[in-house]
Amino acid sequence: MPDRSQLPFLVKLLDDDSPSVRQHVLEQILAYGPGIEDEIGQMEALLSNRQRAMLHSALNVYREAETRYSEWRAWPFLEDEYEKLERAFELLAQFQYGWRPPVKVGELLDELASGFLVSGRPNDPTGLSRFLFVTEKFRGEVEDYHNPLNSNLIHVIQERRGIPITLTCVFMLVGARVGQLIQGCNVPGHFLARAVCNGEEVLFDCFNRGRIFSRADMVQLRSSLAPHMVHLLQEGAAAETIVSRVLRNMVHAYEQQGDHERSAQARDLLRDLRESVRL
C-alpha cells in the first residue's frame, strides 16, 4: 500500500526535467487507487500549471481505464452468446490499442456480412466459408503466428490473417449477422468451427481456408482425442470459454515478445473473467 504522506513530495517531482522521471512519478501517484482524485483536488491551489495539466491528463486516462475494466466485468452477463463474444473482442481491441481502436469490430463485421449478402453465394455455412476464405482471402497467419495482434479481431479482419480461434470467430460472428448458427469447437491444439449443413454436422478448419472435414478426417480427429474430450466435437464452445482461450494465447504471445506488462494485463483480464463466471 503506497504511503499517502508521500503524495505532496511526488507531486513536486512532476516538475522534474526528465520525462522518464515524470512518467514514473505519475505511475506512482495513480497507484494510490480510489480516492486519489479527492486528495489531488485538495491540493489544487498548490499545483503549478504543468503539475495540474499532467495530473488531469493522467486522471482522465485512469478514469477511462476503470470504465473499461467495469465493462470487461459486465460482458459475460449479456444474454446472447454472439453478443457476448463480439463485446469481448471490442474490449480486447481497446486494451491492445490503448483505448482508441482505429475502427469498431462491429463495423468491420457489418461490412463483411453486407458483402456476403450481395455476393450471390448460398446463405449457408458452406457459402459463407467460401466467401470469407476464397473471395475475401482470409488465411491462417503462418509467418507471424505468435504476434499478439492475431488475437485482435480488428487486425485479423483488416489483414485477412489470423490464428485458428480468431478466424473461427470471424466466421461465427459474420454468420450470426446473416442468420446462420456457426459455433466454435474447442478441441485442443487447433480451434475449429462447427455447423449443420444439409442435416449433417460439419467441421470447418478456418486456419486452412475453411477446409471441410471429411468423414475420414472426423474419424481421425475423434481417435486423436482423449475419451473425456470427445464430447467437445458435439458441443458449441461458450463465449467465455472462447475468450478465455484467446487470453491465454495473448499471455503466451506477449511473453514471447518480452512484453511482460502486456502479458500481465492479459492475465488480469483472464483472472477477472474466471472470477466472474467461475471458469
Mean pLDDT of 52-62: 71
> Tell me, what's the pLDDT at 186?
93
Q: What proportion of the chain, given as a percentage, has pLDDT over 90? A: 57
Q: Quick check: 224 pLDDT over 80?
A: yes
Q: Quick check: 114 pLDDT over 50?
A: yes
Q: Quick check: 84 pLDDT over 70?
A: yes
Dihedral pair phi/psi, residue 67, rounded to 5°: -65, -45
> Tell me, what's the pLDDT at 28?
78
Mean pLDDT of 75-88: 96
Q: Quick check: 3 pLDDT over 70?
A: no
Per-residue pLDDT tens digits for 171-205: 999 999 999 999 999 998 899 999 998 888 999 99
Identify the residue with better confidence: 2 or 244. Answer: 244
> Tell me, what's the pLDDT at 251?
97
